[in-house]
A and B are shown apart, each in its own frame.
Chain A
Amino acid sequence: MSNVYEPVIGLEVHVQLKTQSKIFCGCSTEFGAEPNSNTCPVCLGLPGSLPVLNQKVLELGMKVGLALECTISNLIKFDRKNYFYPDLPKAYQISQFDMPVSFKGHLAIELKADDGSLNEKKIGITRAHLEEDAGKLLHEGVRDGSWVDYNRGGVPLLEIVSEPDLRSADEAFQYLTNLKSILQYLDVSDCNMEEGSLRCDANVSIRKKDDAKFGTKVEIKNMNSFRAVQKAITYEIKRQSEALNAGEKIAQETRLWNESKGQTFTMRSKEQAHDYRYFPEPDLVPFTVSKEQIQKIKNSLPELPKARMERFKKQFGLSGYDAYVLVSEKPLGDYFEVCASEKVNAKLASNWIQSELLGELNTRKVSLQDSKVKPKDLAGLVRLIENNTISGKIAKDVLPEMLETGKSAEEIVKDKGLVQVTDTKLLEEVAERVIKANPKTVEEVRSGKGQAIGFLVGQVMKETQGKANPKLINEILSKKLSS
């Protein structure tokens, strides 16, 4: 692809805030309820109904704002955003226009350099504001029309708008990953794109690398996962580049991502800029937040991913990259911390969690939280490797067994007699046998082909049912062969 153009990307993320009740009424926010069963006059927009703000919503909004290094407004108000659509019962959405709860923050993303190190880039956050969610329209399987379910109407949303600071689909993916991570750490949302508790729209434009002006912005919707966002942006950059190269103009429009076709398609044939006629919501009073309140919330913030990453590097001596991966999902970081607190080698534990455990869980389609192997159990396995009771190779077989049976590592090793053979005398004997049985290979090793020793190691392993420590075998063989 031509490097003449630079992509300019901004993301709008809508997050459903995890409260028990809706933003303006006492209806439950529970997902998956019977259609229209979590409704009342307020969220149905019945004539005469009035909104009252859920205090927790404002708190969570401020929490996120602070976590994103935003300024929290001292005076906050709500506004009406007027438009017509069946999923919007009042024909206006109560949102925030000019006095949002938070603004001017940033989110750091880490980009892997060629040498494996991580470079930090700050992505600006224009604002994060509160609003109510709309109901859901169902079209599939409905004859001659659509169905409306207002259960989702009134669920509290935080709309997080980034500055157009992203310059690639990878950066966008990174931004979403890090944002989700922060939201999970704050425990403000389930961040589940499949259930709709996290939604993302992208604004994509391209410009010539030395151009100061931005190109025409295209809005992309209907991406249902972070990967979809990445793919859609990649496709859109390509589409726009090809169009410009062919001398065409980019139309300012909204396009929908089609996952199965892997393309974006125009959504509106007639681009009509919405006139939302924003004005201050007369049914809600303004909200003032004092410096003290803001400080109190700031003090109550949990350790966030970035801070945790730095601490993991210092406290456990992990590499930047390892630390980054472990903190990216709170449950993963939690798991690691408990495990590492069992006084096992942190690096070893980190490796085993990241590559072996997650791999096994993935194959079984089990989440980390549901894993039968708890952090303490994994620490037990790591300890056995650390003190040479079993080899890493054997451990790789023990782990699946632990997952299937729920038994501890020690139990399994004992039951199956997997204790590593470290008896040097025995190993020397086996080594002698193997050397005698493979004169050709021995010759190869002696004549300088060092790798051939591997075959001999393998033979010793075979004779010891894999229970010997390969490193030790290697040492013994090397010694014998060099003499």
Chain B
Amino acid sequence: MELFELTLKQAKELISKNPSKESELRNSLADRVKTLDPKVKAYVNFASSQKGSEGKGALSGIPISLKDNIVTDGWETTCASKILKGFVPPYDATVVRKLKQSGAYIFGKCNMDEFAFGSSCETSCYGPSHNPWNLDYVPGGSSGGSAAAVAGNLAIAALGSDTGGSIRQPASFCGVVGLKPTYGRVSRYGLIAFGSSLDQIGPITKTVEDSAILMNVLAGHDERDSTSADVPVPDYTSFIGKDVKGLKIGLPKEYFVKGLDPEVEKAVRQSVQVFQDLGATVVEVSLPHMKYAVAVYYIVAVAEASSNLGRFDGVEYGFRAESSNLKDMYFETRDQGFGAEAKRRILLGTFVLSAGYYDAYYLKGLKVRTLIKQDFDEALKKADIILGPTAPTPPFKIGEKMNDPLSMYLSDIYTISANLAGVPAISIPCGFSSKNLPIGLQLTAKPFEEGTLFRAASAYETATKWYEKKPKL
């Protein structure tokens, strides 16, 4: 087995037995990236990644790749946008500090949709990343680069961010494990904000156990983030290998409707059977307001985004359009610096917050958000986890949905609600389409019950071993 094929757990064990393996692993990974990444384009910044680990801990000697919206001290962070080219953060995100303190090192920065606006990794100013399973297809988004890197063995493990599905959907499209933690579980300090009340950083890994190992390091209260929860962090790895006898699995009746690809539906229903065979029971639940989730998101998230992106004006950092007066500087910098999707969302967000429209749109959106949250509270009283597809379709071709923004937005239909409600959700591989493209299964749990997700996901993973199949790059 090549070193780059190792899971995080295997790499940990190897390095702890034999510390010299750390540099061997780094070189093995670096060589593979140099050779294959020109095809996959998972990375945007890789050259400066030759520094090894600084500390010792749970992740000694482990290389971690980061989505390029997580700030890294001294290392350009661009959010795949022209407007942030040249922005070199003078500080590390809290998750980066935690990784370094635990002995890991940052291997590279990964490609993404510009400012995390997208579900296909096609709005990046660097060009799209490609799905390692078939390079003509999208890896999903917005953490497309991170997911492609893990799937293609171009990373041992990676971090992404999730605002409406941006970890889970690319994990689903790339056949890897992606977890969106409970809102507030992981610090947002150093995550370049998109939807402040929705964003979470989370792990994208080859296995469920890898995800639990990373979460042990990432989770926890951060005094720099006022929205970070002060809830104790359990040992997530203790949930790996537990059985699921008696676990109540909720199937929302609203999930299985027109628009769900039949191959995806088949794979998901088969996974329900797997859980039943393992001793879990199925209950029917309802998420009556599910169909409004995308609409709420495209009011609330874009409103927050439009405000968060106001600071990109060419004054302090990043790109500035040459101009003779301040007014032109603002208008030109922003028009030239932002891509089309970013502009779309900024304009939409500005509109829904503007005078005369706030009540009808933004306030309304916040109210329906309450209804969606209440749906989950109710459903999760009846069931321990909610099960469903991560995405309504298998991966689509690069360029296929770029002309129809609304159709792109609807690919988040299953993932968006979890962000609106603040609940944790994980995507795990559950099969392949007839085109041999990955299909993902999504499990959702109550706030701060990532342990339940790990328990259910690892039981399923052990029973099905989908991770053994790898793309031929």
Contacts and interface: CB of A to CB of B under 8 A. Distances in A.
B353 A90 contact: no
Contacts of A91: 307, 310-311, 313
Interface in B46-96: 70-71, 77, 79, 84, 87, 89-91, 93
Interface string B181-224: 00000001111110011000000000000000000000000011
A294 interface: no
Given A279-B362, A282-B196, A46 B317 contact: yes
A49 B189 contact: yes
Interface string A142-165: 000010100000000000000000
A84 B196 contact: no
Q: Bin chain A's interface residue count.
A: 20 to 34
Interface stretch (A50-58, A218-226, A338-346): A50-58
Contacts of A284: 226
Given A47-B84, A84-B310, A86-B326, A279 B353 contact: yes
Contact of A48 (B192, B330, B350): B192
A279 B358 contact: yes
A44 B315 CA distance: 11
Interface residues of B, number: 41
B316 A89 contact: yes
B365 to A, nearest CB: 11
A41 interface: yes
A466 B225 CA distance: 75
Contacts of B459: none
A82 interface: yes
A446 B435 CA distance: 131
Interface string A43-74: 01111111111000000000000000000000
A399 B64 CA distance: 77
A253 to B, nearest CB: 19
A293 B154 CA distance: 56
A279 B299 CA distance: 13
B310 A92 contact: yes
A50 B362 contact: no
A143 to B, nearest CB: 13
A47 to B, nearest CB: 4
A86 B317 CA distance: 12
Given A47-B84, A48-B193, A285 B330 contact: no
Contacts of A283: 193, 196, 226-227
Nearest to A90: B311
Contacts of A92: 307, 310
Contacts of A48: 70-71, 89, 93, 189-193
A291 interface: no
A46 B307 contact: no
Given A277-B354, A279-B307, A282-B197, A45 B316 contact: yes
A50 B188 contact: yes
Nearest to B303: A279
Contact of A50 (B224, B304, B307, B315): B224
A200 to B, nearest CB: 27
Contacts of B84: 47
A80 interface: yes
A47 B311 contact: yes
A120 interface: no
A49 B90 CA distance: 11
B45 to A, nearest CB: 16
Contact of A86 (B87, B93, B315): B315
A19 to B, nearest CB: 18
Contacts of B188: 50
Contacts of A50: 188-189, 224-227
B307 A47 contact: no
A300 B36 CA distance: 69
A275 interface: yes
B257 interface: no
Interface string A365-386: 0000000000000000000000
B91 A47 contact: no
Given A49-B189, A275-B355, A282-B197, 10 more contacts: A41-B89, A45-B316, A46-B71, A48-B191, A50-B226, A277-B354, A279-B307, A282-B196, A283-B227, A285-B227
7 contacts: A44-B316, A48-B93, A48-B189, A86-B326, A92-B307, A146-B326, A275-B355
Interface of B: 70-71, 77, 79, 84, 87, 89-91, 93, 188-193, 196-197, 223-227, 303-304, 307, 310-313, 315-317, 326, 330, 350, 353-355, 358, 362
Interface of A: 41, 44-53, 80, 82, 84, 86, 89-92, 146, 148, 275, 277-279, 282-285
- 6 A-B pairs with least C-beta separation: A91-B310, A282-B196, A277-B353, A282-B197, A47-B192, A48-B190
